[in-house]
Structure 1
Amino acid sequence: MYGASRCRLLLAAGLALTATLLGGCAARVMPEAQIDTPQPVYLVDHGRHASLVIPHENGLTRYSFGEWRWYVEGRRGARAGLSALLWPTAGGLGRKEHAALEAPPLPARVTPEGRQQVYALNAEAARVEALRRRLDGYHAAAPESPVYSETFGLYFVPYSRDYWAAHQSNLKVVEWLEELGMQVQGSAWLSRWRIVED
């Protein structure tokens, strides 16, 4: 028991040190330079986590990945947050469609938990559509009914991979951006972003 507690404390200290070292770093997002059919997407920085919004002919859809207990069950204390990072726990894929796009480009109602920055990016339309179809398909095929989070304004379904320090919300957004053909360098762990365009 002592050994397990000691390992958790060492891991926590390592995570704290990593976060400190990464404090001045930002993830450098580099969209493709040559795009035949550009399609806008929005990278939303909420301060500690990020989400992705994809406009489409029927409006737009927002996606986010997070720890189930934090996002869905509302367990948001320091202990719960540390627990979510120290070992794998259940993750969830959040999604919600919004019928119309209105000015400003991303209405506040899309992100009820707030946001610090919205980055408008372009990607190849075919890639955007493929990602949207994949995420929508995953969400629709979930064996359990979606659970709505009032705080985040998203419907969550269980995700096939657990949430923890090496697979958290910002790193999942990086995976999605890379799927759209963008390069991401540096750490996105703390949801700090810098867009680099030619």
Structure 2
Amino acid sequence: MFGTFRYRLLLAIGVMLVATLLSGCAARVTPQAQLEAPQPVYLVDHSRHASLVIPHEDGLTRYSYGEWGWYVEGQRGTLAGLSALLWPTPGGLGRKEHAALEVPPLPARVTPEGRQRVHALEAEAERVEMLRQRLDAYHAEAASPAVYSETYGLYFVPYSRDYWAAHQSNLKVVEWLQELGMEVRGSAWLSRWRITTSSRD
């Protein structure tokens, strides 16, 4: 057990060190160049974390992933932050649907914790719908009832994979963007994003 903890600790320190070294860099997001049926999606940069907004015929839905203690229970401070990063702790998938909203612009009430920038992207409509259905199904089929966070304006359910330095909120958003067919290079750990039109930009 101690060996596992030591491994996790060293790996987490390594991840944070790399993130610090890359703090001047950004995650380069490159959407597909040619789309048969383009569908808008919005990458929301909240300065330290990110979320994804998907418009649909009934309005729009926002998704975010985060550490349960921090996002849902409101545990703050250095100790809580280090605990969430240094070893696996419960994670949660946040979701909220907003009816009859037009984007852009994205209404402020969709992101009550604030945002630094909203990146308008496009992906293949079929991929977007598949991701939306998968996340909605996961949220609806959760074994525990959803818990509402006033801070983030989202309903959270427990996630099957723990949160820690190597699996945090921004890295989860990267997974979703890749699922939409986008290329993501560089470090997204600090929620710094750059949208490009070519992998050579």
Query: What is the TM-score with the length of structure 2 in the denominator?
Result: 0.92
In the other structure, the counterpart of 1:29 is 29
In the other structure, the counterpart of 1:153 is 153
Aligned residues: 198
Moved over 6 A (4+): 2-9
1:50 partnered with 2:26: no
Cα distance in 2 for partners of 1:136, 1:103 equals 20
Cα distance in 1 for partners of 2:142, 2:109 equals 26
> Retained in 1: the 8 A contact 2:59–2:102?
no
1:123 partnered with 2:123: yes
Cα distance in 2 for partners of 1:35, 1:48 equals 31
In the other structure, the counterpart of 1:192 is 192
Cα distance in 2 for partners of 1:74, 1:144 equals 19
Cα distance in 2 for partners of 1:5, 1:124 equals 42
Deviations 1:63-118 (A, max 9, x none): 00000000000001111001100000000000000012146521000000000010
Runs of 5+ unmatched residues, structure 2: none
Runs of 5+ unmatched residues, structure 1: none
Cα distance in 2 for partners of 1:12, 1:131 equals 29
Q: CA RMSD in A?
A: 2.1
Which amino acid in 1 is paired with 2:74?
G
In the other structure, the counterpart of 2:73 is 73
In the other structure, the counterpart of 1:39 is 39
Cα distance in 2 for partners of 1:172, 1:10 equals 21
Percent sequence identity over aligned pairs: 79
In the other structure, the counterpart of 1:136 is 136
CA shift, 1:16, in A, is: 4.3
Query: What is the TM-score with the length of structure 1 in the denominator?
Result: 0.93
